[in-house]
Structure 1
Amino acid sequence: MNKQQLAAKIWESANRMRGKVDASEYKDFILGFIFYKYLSEKEEQFFLAEGMTAADMEQLTEEDEETVGYAQRRLGYFIDYKNLFSTWVAAGNDFAISQVYEALSAFSRLVSPTYQKVFKDVFVTLQTGLSKLGDATSQTRSVRDLIHLVQTIPMHTRQDYDVLGYIYEDLISKFASSAGKKAGEFYTPHEVSELMSEIVADHLRNQDEIRIYDPTSGSGSLLITIGEAVKRRMGNEDGIIYYAQELNQSTFNLTRMNLVMRGIKPSNLFVRNGDTLEEDWPYFDDSDPSGTYDPLYVDAVVSNPPYSQRWEPEGKDADIRFAYGIAPRSKADYAFLLHDLYHLKPSGIMCIVLPHGVLFRGGEEGNIRRNLIENDKIAAIIGLPANIFFGTGIPTIIMVLRQKRTESDVLIVDASKGFEKAGKSNRLRASDIRRIVDVVDARQTVEGFSRLVGKEEIRANDYNLNIPRYVDSSEPTETWDLYSTMFGGIPRAEIDALDTWWQALPGLHDALFASGNDHAASLRVDNLSEAVACNEAVRSYIKRYQDAFSGLRRKLVSDLIGRWDAVDSLGEEESVASDIFQRVSDFSLVDKYEAYQVLDNAWEGISADLEMLQTEGFDATRRVDPLMVLKKKGGKDVEVQDGWKGHVLPFGLVQEALLSDELSALRTVQDELIRVSGECDSLKEELPPEDDGDGEEASCDLTDEEIEERQQLLAEATKRQKSLKKAVKERTEALEDATRTLVESLTDEQVYELLERKWVDPLMGGLMTLPQQSIDRLVKKIEALQEKYQDTYADIAGQISDAERELNEMLGQLVGDEFDMLGIAELRKLLGGE
């Protein structure tokens, strides 16, 4: 299974097992054991690569000081054979919780002195939390189940430990979203991390060695995402040095686990459990002050600190970090920012997530903001959508700062409108991220989205950086043309506002609108949609667009399906994106970011399948898996098999392509069943309801003969319905069996054809709809204009007059007592009547 499927399985199993602890605590167990498995299997792989056999490894003991020392120098730790994760699994029912306590204690004892900061006490949260699972017997049972769950995670894959890292991050994300702020306070949503990583990585793309630092590292996900983006551009993962600091002990453990599990060498990791604002990164190690002096200046700082946290500013006047000002006691936002900026090299870049209020709050924060602007430190401000972080709905920003800049302006981006709904939260789409990164890299002004703002303008606004002051992303206020309201017709100014379409589709404007006068025009066609669809300019535009993409299908088939075993998913997606952007560039009606979103939507499935093929081999396409569903048994949810499904190739896809006759025959029977079921329902409605037992006969408009006839028809239809249900069941089972047999015996050529249908067809189909979607938007805009000015003021006044006259006449027909009639008479006067 691919990593998404595996992560989903682990989450489902975790939910079934959870009970005695809540989500935020449960993560410590499952993630702790995932990390222990990682370390165990890494040691096993290491010794196998060194020439040991499986039998040799059974002799690994703590007493073998030479082997222990060798492992400590190379791995940073040593695990005795009896304490390996695989040994626990092999113990089966003989496993006891005491083995875990013994192993975790031994691990702490056998960590290399050189790597104490990386590994020391990394399992302390797991070790102390086991007691929450009950007595020893209960702990043994729960942990044994957990171990066998974690054992399903594959470690020997072509993706190395990226699969494990993905699962790790996926679990952190799910625990955060399910448990709210309590579990999510340490987690930066992946899309936000990705946005920051792309900005940072583009800036650092020409460097050979890079230091990156997160002073509020949380789970480490932000730091890891930055590292991955930088690594893709550098091609040298060992050239990245990671620095991380985190205050909370258990969260600090997550940072270390997450970083180590991404395959980062312990020698490239510098981690610290401490208060960033109170205890700055140490200039030296107490054990070796002169040999370890390092003021820590880095190429990139990334952080998502706690918002508006209280801190202690007293005594910070002499702290060189806060040379631009001291943040107020009630809000440490600028204290974190200034800390980050201090540790930045002159050529470096930093991205920090902050609450929107830092842009306009006064007092000490206003002074700091002024100093940052006057010293040209702020490169860009990016306004994010609200409700994008777990546990808080407040609007947030990303501030991009540089230590040394040649520009004095500030790029302000309002990206608050670009997102998709994801449950109760909002989420940045791939196209939203790409749009932001492109304007930041190019320092580009885009109407309604971004703007370069000069220092003089910011000074004139008293250093207030509130985004709406500089970028108006709101929808234009609808206006009504007085002339067209009175006399009809569509104002030419509002027609001209659709100039993007008129320029791209020459002649369409004149084909749709009659000349009218200098101020307004009218539609000259009765059926707008048909007139647009049949227009030669529109048809030519779509044809040219289709021709521009004619070679993309062949390229995708060749590069993806033809090279499935060698293609790099991330690199290939970027290559295809560049190709699509080039093809789209000549078509102004198609937004390249919409095209990019189509690509990314399709690529999610493509990359998952590529991972599966590259880890399991091409024969994975010919595998079928049991289709497991949850069913109630004895009041409990029990997982049972309910048929089969394709491991890579969905049954429905195979049936549409290779079993179309059988599928068509099944659908014919299904359609007939629907028709007959509807007939049964109609007959039941016509018949009188059954006697409800109160002795009264139900009323019915039918005669006895008609009732008898309907009952006979219902009996026949019901018999037919039963027969059709049986036929549908039999044909469905037969088709499923035929599909299973066919999948297991597919030829390579058939697999290639099916992969093209699964991977390429949705992508090409989505791209081909883009120009038509734009043209459909034009039709809707014209229809809205037509409806807006369809009724003139005279028409509406006439309708009001007619309504008043009708009401007046109705009032004249009313009768009542003396006072009622006086009231009616007065109302008729107001309506212009008697």
Structure 2
Amino acid sequence: MSSDIKSLSSFVWSIAETLRGDFKQSEYGKVILPFVVLRRLDCILEASKPAVLAMAATLSDDLDDEARDTLLAGAVGQDIRLYNLSRLTFASLKGQDPKDIHKNLLEYITKFSPNVRDIFLDKFLFTDQLKRLNDAGLLFRVFDQFTQIDLHPEVISNLEMGYLFEELIRRFSEISNETAGEHYTPREVIRLIVSLLLVNDREALTGSGVIRQVYDPAAGTGGMLSLAEMEMKALNPRIRVELYGQELNPESYAICKSDMLVTGHDPENIAYGNTLTQDAHRKRRFHYMLSNPPYGVDWKKYADAIKDEADTQGKNGRFGAGLPRISDGQLLFLQHMISKMRNDEQGSRIGIVMNGSPLFTGGAGSGESEIRRWMLENGSVAQIL
């Protein structure tokens, strides 16, 4: 990480200190991370604002939503599917009466394209945080500090933005006793997994025109995906890395999807929902898969759908090898990942973080034992750390 990014991270961290007393430390990320995303998007869209507004003025009210989104995103002139129809920007908002900042920010956020509105309104619940900031008399002060950060793409690259976002997530996770275990896997562990995944593929990843897909079925805030891309880019700056994931927790999903937005990836590749019952990437196969699924979490709430798939689809489905005990779903995630391995010459590699339980729980004939036997007999042995 460059000294500039470290300096920028420290400045953003200092903004979080403004919240002390009115917000708990574990709540800092709920305010700061959405503001970082908002500022990045403002910088990305600033130059194209006149073109987007001009395009919007020409569109008929009878035009269907998909066509409208395509035309408006096209007016942005970049390889991103997002836009903002508000005439406001951070620069113009700063020039408005500070008393109107709450109203103006709400107007600004609600004029984003639907895929961005969903992140701020439904997953981050950012309007609640804006109201809290406004009620505490802090909103304009926090907003004004973010206007001092230059996150234009020509100043902060997508790769550098990824470093910044990952560093902030790490810091906020470390001070949040409530959510750190759910949201953050230590980067040292992720780097080890990625190194194991890539160790025999270094030559294949070099050169021009190389494309690889990476997937995390329990994506959390996206740290594994981001670091995997960074390591692959370090091997070959010209490689194209496509990131995919799915996440059940709405706030984690919002952070992960935001990370895709601010680093130039397709945010639609990150799905919301339960991977085990609503596979959003059903027909896809991936070169690399890595994940840190929840330990010792029961799947009782989803048992009917999982058992139904196992019974009706058998080995043609994801869970045909067997079902683990209801108290721990780790082996369900592993079977799900194995089902997404490629059958071509490039094949796939899986790295998954587990506790020891799936390695030895269950006697002969049990669900766990049958899953392990099936993995060995079919040669589908992942790196289990």
* SS, match of residue 138 in structure 2: helix
- Paired AA for residue 274 in structure 2: D
Residue number in structure 2 paired with 1:82: 87
> Structure 2-normalised TM-score?
0.81
Equivalent in the alignment of 1:195: 192
Q: How far is the alpha carbon of 1:375 from its aligned partner?
A: 2.8
Matched residues in 1 for 2:145 and 2:170: separation?
A: 19
Supply the distance in 1 between the matched residues of 2:181 and 2:95 (Cα, whole angstroms).
35
- Residues 73-102 of structure 1: CA deviation (Å, up to 9, x unaligned): 743222245332232233363542011111
Distance 1:78 1:353, change over 3 A: same
Q: Conserved in 2, the CA contact under 8 Å of 1:175 and 1:184?
A: no
In structure 1, C-alpha distance between the alignment counterparts of 2:28 and 2:56, rounded to whole Å: 31
Map 1:396-415 to 2 at 5 A: 398=385
The equivalent of 1:166 in structure 2 is: 163
Asked whether the equivalents of residues 51 and 75 of structure 2 are also in contact (C-alpha less than 8 Å), the reply is no
Distance (Å, rounded) in 1 between the aligned partners of 2:56 and 2:28: 31
Alpha-carbon spacing, 1:94–1:58, altered in 2? closer, same or farther (3 Å): farther
Question: How far off its partner does 1:219 sit?
Answer: 0.5
Q: What CA distance in whole angstroms lies between the structure 1 residues aligned with 2:100 and 2:134?
A: 11
Q: Distance in 2 between matches of 1:324 and 1:369?
A: 9
Aligned to 1:317: 311
Could you say which residue in structure 1 is the equivalent of 2:65? none
Match of 1:153 among 143, 149, 166: 149
> Which position in structure 1 is the counterpart of 2:32?
30
Q: 1:168 to 1:89 in 2, by over 3 A?
A: farther
Preserved CA contact (<8 Å) 2:73 2:81: no
Give secondary structure in 2 for the equivalent of 1:98: helix
**Structure with more of its chain in strand, by fraction:** 1
Secondary structure of the residue that 1:83 maps to in structure 2?
coil
Residues 221, 258 of structure 1: 8 Å contact kept: no
Report if the CA contact (8 A) 1:327-1:334 is conserved. Answer: yes
Residue matched to 1:124: 121
The residue correspondences of 1:325-474 to structure 2 (distance < 5 A) are 325-346=322-343, 347-362=347-362, 363-378=366-381, 380-381=383-384, 398=385
Note if contact 2:246-2:273 (Cα within 8 Å) is conserved in structure 1.
yes
Is 1:297 the counterpart of 2:302? The answer is no
**CA deviation map 1:210-250 (0-9, x unaligned):** 1111111110111111122223334334x322211111122
Q: Distance in 2 between matches of 1:190 and 1:60?
A: 45
Q: How has the CA–CA distance of structure 1 residues 260 and 69 changed in structure 2, closer, same or farther, with 3 Å as cutoff?
A: closer
Secondary structure, aligned partner of 1:121: helix
1:246 aligns with 2:264: no
Deviation at residue 265 of structure 1 after TM alignment: 4.7
Partner of 2:75: 71
3-state SS of paired residue (1:256):
helix
Equivalences for residues 399-798 of structure 1 within 5 A = none
Q: Deviations over 1:507-530 (max 9, x none)?
A: xxxxxxxxxxxxxxxxxxxxxxxx
**Matched-pair contact (CA < 8 Å) for 1:245–1:274:** yes
| Cα distance, 1:252 vs structure 2 | 0.9
Say which of 172, 177, 198 aligns to 1:175: 172
Confirm or deny that 1:308 pairs with 2:301: no
Cα distance in 1 for residues equivalent to 2:263 and 2:359:
36
Moved more, 59-68 or 327-336: 59-68
Q: Confirm or deny: 8 A CA contact 1:57 1:81 kept in the other structure.
A: no
* 2:7 paired residue among 2, 5, 8: 5
Identical counterparts, % of pairs: 24
* Distance (whole Å) between structure 2 residues aligned to residue 95 and residue 58 of structure 1: 25
Query: Given residue 170 of structure 2, which amino acid in structure 1 is its aligned partner?
Result: S
Q: Which residue in the other structure is 2:98 paired with?
A: 93
Read off the aligned partner of 2:213 and give its amino acid letter.
R
User: Match of 1:366, as an amino acid?
Assistant: S
**2:19 paired residue number:** 17
Change (3 A) 1:151 1:61: farther
Distance 1:103 1:61, change over 3 A: farther
1:756-807 per-position Cα deviation (integer Å, ceiling 9, x unaligned): xxxxxxxxxxxxxxxxxxxxxxxxxxxxxxxxxxxxxxxxxxxxxxxxxxxx
Query: What displacement does 1:204 show?
Result: 4.1
Amino acid at match of 1:96: I
What are the equivalent positions in structure 2 for 1:196-235 lying under 5 Å apart? 196-205=193-202, 206-207=204-205, 208-235=210-237
Evaluate the alpha carbon distance shift between residue 11 and residue 69 of structure 1 in structure 2; reply closer, same or farther with a 3 A threshold: closer
Check the 8 A contact 2:55/2:75 in 1, yes or no.
no
The one-letter amino acid of 1:296's match is R
Give the conservation status (yes or no) of the 8 Å contact 1:298–1:348: yes
Partner of 1:261: 262
Structure having the higher Rg: 1
Cα pair 1:277 1:335 within 8 Å, conserved: yes
Cα offsets for 1:328-347 (capped at 9, x unmatched): 11110100111011111131
Q: Does 1:186 align with 2:183?
A: yes
Deviations 1:298-333 (A, max 9, x none): 111111111121112532333411232212111101
The aligned counterpart of 1:279 is 278
How far apart are residue 72 of structure 1 and its match? 5.8
How far apart, CA to CA, are the structure 2 residues paired with 1:64 and 1:136? Answer: 37
Q: Which residue of 2 aligns with 1:103?
A: 108
CA contact (8 A) 1:28 1:125 kept: no
- 2:290 match: secondary structure: strand
SS of residue paired to 1:298: coil
* Residue 348 (structure 1) shift: 0.6
Residues 86 and 111 in structure 2, CA contact (< 8 A), matched pair in contact too: no
Compute the RMSD of aligned alpha carbons.
2.9
Q: Report the residue type matching 2:289 in the other structure.
A: V
Any gaps of 5 or more consecutive residues in structure 1? 48-55, 284-294, 382-397, 399-834
Structure 1 residue 358: deviation in Å? 1.8
User: How many Å separate the matches in 2 of 1:343 and 1:138?
Assistant: 48
CA drift of 1:143 comes to: 2.1
Distance (Å, rounded) in 2 between the aligned partners of 1:228 and 1:136: 35
The 1:70/1:279 distance shift into structure 2, 3 A limit, reads closer
Taking structure 1 as the reference length, what is the TM-score of the superposition? Answer: 0.39
SS in 1 for 2:119: coil
Question: How far apart, in 1, do the equivalents of 2:352 and 2:318 lie?
Answer: 16
Contact residue 215 and residue 243 of structure 2 kept, 8 A: yes
Contact 1:32–1:126 under 8 Å retained in 2: no
Report which structure shows greater RCO (CA 8 Å, sep ≥6): 2
